Amino acid sequence: MNERALPVVIINTECANLASVANAVKRLGYPALVSDDAGHIERAERVILPGVGSAAAAMRSLQQKQLVHVIQQLQQPLLGICLGMQLLTDYSSEGDVRCLGVIPGQTERLQVAQQQEQTLPLPHMGWNTLQQCHPAQTALRDNDYYYFVHSYAVAVNDYTLASCHYGQTFAAVIGHNNFYGTQFHPERSGAAGARLLQQFLENGQC
């Protein structure tokens, strides 16, 4: 691997379906490298941090790979997906673990109140819409459907670019400086997800 910039690097946390994210990027015409090599990540033009599973296991993997500081110091656009988004916040109650702290916020278990005489199941799994999309984020549209699978979520705060409702309102897209996160899986969200990925790959925003 030479020293020039790598277009897209997907961080290998060993806690994600990396192939589906890589295939989604490649379908949009971008070469993608799955790697846990700090040099590859630092030279990437775009970085994606996917995640499936628990915050504690994912953070332990990043620490063992000595990637925590590498990610925190990145200047190029980074997109966290699902658990990857939660890892961008300060803290997760899933395992009582400190996270990367690059987007202010905390991740807590969803509180799913009883609705219409039924208790909503966890995880929140399936298609749901976004609301209150930030007007500057051209790829996000109110009422577009995206695919979610999660039991923990980030509370809506000043860094929320779009929200979603499932028993409670939570942050579906967050952003701060060069860091962005989506609670849903854009790689599994059809045309709307592809549009968001295209926006990130082309312009470095969601």
* Residues acting as catalytic residues: 82, 185, 187
Beta carbons within 10 angstroms of residue 144's beta carbon: 18
The per-residue DSSP string of 59-82 comes to HHHHHHTT-HHHHHT--S-EEEET
Strand partners, 114: 119
Q: What angle do CA 124, 191, 7 make, to 5 degrees?
A: 100
Q: Which helix (H) or strand (E) holds 197?
A: helix 190-203
Specify the amino acid at residue 98. Answer: R
Other Cβ atoms closer than 10 A to 92: 24
Q: What is the DSSP letter of 128?
A: E
Residue showing tokens 């990043």? 62
CA–CA gap between residue 194 and residue 79 (Å, rounded):
14
AA letter at 33: L
| DSSP designation for 122 | S
Asked if 127 and 145 count as a contact pair (C-beta separation under 8 A), the reply is yes
